[in-house]
Amino acid sequence: MIAGVGGVLVSLSTRGKGVGNHLMRHAAGSMEDADGVEFGYLGCREEVVPFYVSCGWRRISAAERFISRDGSPVVEAAGHPLFIFPVTSGVDSWPHGTVNLRGRAW
């Protein structure tokens, strides 16, 4: 089971004060408290990659399949920032291949 994280935003005036890190710690705790969650998963912009790395998330390389806002299928090639957070399984347990969100991007 995968716990998806999406839409993490911190206002410009609050950045650098630990709010985002606090939020991500609580998200990780929630994943750990839930039964059966093996990994957290998120996609982000390249500019915020260092933030997620600092929160313990691990970057993976995979294509991602999802449904666009207009309802059409999209497959993004491997290379854009995708991250996993190991909850009950090790990073090496993450399966290789295309990630299929089976719906809209989170």
Per residue of the chain (106 residues), what is the pLDDT tens digit? Answer: 999 998 888 999 998 999 999 999 999 999 999 999 999 999 999 999 999 999 999 999 999 999 999 999 999 999 999 999 999 999 999 999 999 999 998 7
Query: What is the per-residue pLDDT for 106?
Result: 77
Residues β-bridged to residue 87: none
What Rg, from alpha-carbon coordinates, does the chain have? 14
Query: What is the per-residue pLDDT for 7?
Result: 82
Domains in the chain: ranges and CATH: 2-104 (3.40.630.30)
Neighbouring C-alpha atoms within 13 Å toward the C-beta of 84: 20
CA distances from 87 to 10, 32, 52, 93 (A): 24, 6, 15, 11
Query: What is the per-residue pLDDT for 32?
Result: 95
Token code pair at residue 59: 């970057």
- Nearest to residue 88, comparing CAs of 34, 11, 45? 34
